[in-house]
Structure 1
Amino acid sequence: MGNVEKQEIMASINCVTYNHAGYIRKALDSFLMQETDFQFEILVHDDASTDGTSDIIREYAKRFPDRIFPLIQEENQYSQGIDNISGAFNFPRARGKYIFMCDGDDYFLSPHKLERQVNYMEAHPECTLCIHSARIELVGKALADMQMRPYHGNRLLSPEEIVDKPSGYAMSSMAFPARLVKNLPEYYVDCPVGDTPIQLMAAAEGWGYYMDEPMSVYRVGVRGSWTSEGKAGDYKAKQRAYYDRMKRTYDQFNQATEGRLKEAAESACLRTYYLTMVNTKVFKEIFARRYRRYFRELTPRTRFLLWFEYRMPWLYHKVRNGFMGA
């Protein structure tokens, strides 16, 4: 890494974890492998894991005391109503000029990820969000060549594009100036997810840049993840509650930015509503003409399956049950 002992910390890696004993070593090793000519720190928040994750973090922190800084909770904070753990516990202690995001079940692929994104943002101070594509890893399934690739080719991202986009950004790809989160707006605190309000804050303050290279991995299907927990219990009620909170987030964002990105925010909010309709199979809304734009954003496979289930539900469920039972 070079002679960086006396340099200021340039990057803070923000890692939030809970019951990731099977994954956290991979994440920490991918952070430690970063090759940079600047100093960086690794902030790990463990939300009172019960599977040994905490012990692994302590082991790494003991081995790398000048690099890894853990905060291990005795009581689960998410269950106490704190949705955005990063803003409550990691952002306030970040010393880096830039913050990198990566949950404990994801990991970095490229050893040059930190340096490439920092170098770009250093050369372009107006850039408030630097992202890249990510490889998708399906837990418990054979490897497949899948990516979260929202764009094709390196490119600038306008504030409107960051707010209103047809496909999401991998959390593990996100890097941004730490100044964005020094004073968190109300819409960050109230939002049910942590990445969307960061993107909104970035759009409010500047523009983005996308690197078309998979420099991290996004794991899908991890037990206990936000996505899997959201599918438990009364799924329809959870989806309604999710949309209500997201709508409030976009409304608060519009107020905070005095409507500068109102059109993009309203479209993003409508897309969120539409996707909850897709998730809960409300076909009257799914195929309504006013949502045609969002329907076309779905993958061809998803569109086909929705039409199949809507037009021939008996055959769809027969085929699906036969496939699942095979």
Structure 2
Amino acid sequence: MESLGKEKIFSEARRRAEDPELPLISVCVVTYNHRPYLSDCLDGILKQEGDFRLEILIHDDASEDGARELIEDYERRFPEIIKPILQTENQYSKGKTNITGIFNIPRARGEFLAVMDGDDYYCDTRKLEKQIRCFQRERELVFCFHSAKVLLPDGSFGNSALMRPYRGSRILSGAELVDRRGGAPFASFLFRREILETLPDYYFDCPVGDRPLEWIAASCGKSFYLDEPLSVYRFQHSGSWTREQGEGEREKKQRRYREAMEKSFLEFDRESGGRFHPEIERAIGRLRFLSDVNLRDFPEIYRRGNREFYRELSLRDRFFLQFERRLPGLYRAMQKRFGQGIG
């Protein structure tokens, strides 16, 4: 995929000049059974301050908890902004895993495109404006993202390092983005829409929607990381991906996820002509290591070959891993008592 040239930027400016009613930002929201959280999500978008128009493109995947009715109410109140797709059959269960790219991105009209899940929300009313300013300062940027607060099911805020991949705001090369350490919140993503007009096969084959979008950005130009927690990421809440992965056949899900992600990384490696091959190899190694951490495979966690990735963990995470490894009974008792505040 080629870098976004200046001519494309200028053509987008001409398009907007010809139709001033076009939104500057299209916010793509995907939701399924997020009724308890959806008002926070939509209100956080609607409260955004700045000199720009926006549209909210919502895809509801046949929710069964009243989310559809809530979306219809918002559409009645904000018909010029809220643009829903309300499915009657669940599309994810039919194998359409990356809903954003299938249903929302193709109908986006904005110069910039934001993405998020319906259980997360913006916690800064100038979140989008701050990101737009980054694009205005650095014309070669194609992607901007930031850190997030981590909200636990008990209402407290958890380990902020979970969604803070870097320390300090800065421009990132494509290689740095591919070999990213730590989580990047989906609700922080803002792209130039042009780079997502044609989505590669690896996007649709990937088991998650965030990483392949980052790979596309890495192939197209520079990115900017804004080291401010401008959104909130719900961790282990009902209906969340993190909760779903931890329930039922946990080990089987982890291994299936790891295998699918490795396959997607290798597809991206082929698509990019090996341009990021060293970074992809390291990212796959990190993926395997973090899977071992999630499964508490201590022999693998402390294997000599994983020392690089172990050192990337926060001191807090390393402490609790050692605690659980050496005193598993006490660790489980404390986790039962204090919940997600431990480990």
Counterpart in the other structure of 2:20: 6
Counterpart in the other structure of 2:219: 204
Could you tell me whether the CA contact under 8 Å between 2:323 and 2:331 is conserved in 1?
A: no
CA RMSD of aligned residues (A): 1.8
* SS of structure 1 residue aligned to 2:233: strand
Deviation at 1:164, TM superposition (A): 0.6
Deviation at 1:224, TM superposition (A): 1.7
Give the TM-score normalised by structure 1.
0.93
Deviation at 1:144, TM superposition (A): 5.4
Counterpart in the other structure of 2:231: 216
Instruction: Give unpaired runs (5+ residues) of structure 1.
Output: none
1:126-141 equivalences under 5 Å are 126-141=140-155
Counterpart in the other structure of 2:75: 61
Residue deviations 1:207-235 (CA, integer Å, cap 9, x gap): 11112222111111221211111122211
One of 22, 27, 33 as aligned partner of 2:47? 33
Could you tell me whether the CA contact under 8 Å between 2:324 and 2:331 is conserved in 1?
A: no
Identity of aligned residues (%): 42
Partners in 1 of 2:146 and 2:244 — Cα distance? 27
Give the TM-score normalised by structure 2.
0.88
Q: 1:323 to 1:266 in 2, by over 3 A?
A: closer
Does residue 303 of the first structure (1) align with residue 321 of the second (2)? no
Partners in 1 of 2:43 and 2:81 — Cα distance? 12
The letter of the residue matching 2:332 is: R
Deviation at 1:325, TM superposition (A): 5.2
Partners in 2 of 1:178 and 1:98 — Cα distance? 5
Counterpart in the other structure of 2:31: 17
My pick for the range that moved more, 237-246 or 142-151, is 142-151
Partners in 1 of 2:186 and 2:286 — Cα distance? 19
Deviation at 1:132, TM superposition (A): 1.4
Could you tell me whether the CA contact under 8 Å between 1:126 and 1:206 is conserved in 2?
A: yes
One of 134, 137, 151 as aligned partner of 1:120? 134
The letter of the residue matching 1:65 is: P
Residue deviations 1:269-305 (CA, integer Å, cap 9, x gap): 1110111111112222111111100011112232223
Counterpart in the other structure of 1:83: 97
Counterpart in the other structure of 2:114: 100
Counterpart in the other structure of 1:284: 299
Partners in 2 of 1:183 and 1:96 — Cα distance? 16
Instruction: Give unpaired runs (5+ residues) of structure 2.
Output: 1-18, 339-343
Greater share of helix residues, 1 or 2? 2
Aligned residues: 319
Residue deviations 1:293-323 (CA, integer Å, cap 9, x gap): 001111223222323333x3xx422442365
Could you tell me whether the CA contact under 8 Å between 1:150 and 1:168 is conserved in 2?
A: yes
